[in-house]
Amino acid sequence: MPESAVLTPITNIVRPTKKQRELLEFISSFIAEHGYSPCYREIMAGCNYTSVATVALHVNNLIKRGHLQKRDRSARSLEVVAAPEKPFYSNQIKVAEEKWLITLIESRFIHVEGFTRPEQTDIDNLYVLVGSLRVLGLDGAAQSFIPRLSVLKKRLAST
């Protein structure tokens, strides 16, 4: 195989379109059922395309996007590339992290409450911290800081 034909890994895979997803599902199920990949005519029939050229166009686009790969330009050599696992992010935090965060916010409140005249940016930052508690599902903790925010806001307005 020439050096230029070596497959290079694609790190930035673009999500497939609906049609492309249908084609990928067809190829995957065909391979699972038969043990080898379908030829273009089988894809054409299975996906209700009207020409082999349409199949070739979709297959080539899926190869460029990193969803399919072809081995050695041989027949029935299509392989569906497994999508990289996306990290799962959750807004749930551990009890220890919750305590740490609330303690951190508490210390920030004490610091700002110690000012004779708090700055608007300090109060805005406290609002962001309290909002982060809500985003994390810690509504009770967020609610406990609201009266203190109100006092600081009144203190700012009165000076």
- The total of structural domains in the chain comes to 2
Of the pLDDT bands very low, low, confident and very high (cuts 50, 70, 90), residue 10 is very low
Residue 125 lies in a domain: yes
Each residue of 81-101: pLDDT tens digit?
876 555 555 567 788 888 999
* Helix H or strand E segment including 97: helix 95-113
- 46 lies in a domain? yes
* pLDDT for the residue numbered 80: 84
Structural domain harbouring 59 = 3-80
Q: What is the mean pLDDT of the chain?
A: 82
Out of 32, 48, 80, a domain closes at 80
Q: Which residue, of 55, 80, 105, is where some domain finishes?
A: 80
Q: Is 85 contained in some domain?
A: no
Prediction pTM value: 0.45
Are residues 69 and 102 part of one domain? no
Instruction: Please report whether residue 145 resides in a domain.
Output: yes
Q: Is 51 within 8 Å of 36 (Cβ atoms)?
A: no
> What are 24-80's pLDDT values in tens digits?
889 888 888 888 889 889 999 999 989 999 888 888 888 888 888 887 777 787 888
Decide: 62 and 19 in contact? Cβ < 8 Å: no
| Any domain includes 154 | yes
d(CA 98, CA 139): 12
Q: Do 69 and 7 contact (CB within 8 A), yes or no?
A: yes
CATH value at residue 8: 1.10.10.10
Whether residues 16 and 73 share a domain: the answer is yes
**Distance between CA atoms of residues 79 and 37, nearest Å:** 7
Shared domain check, 113 and 76: no
Residues 6+ apart with CB under 8 A from 89: none
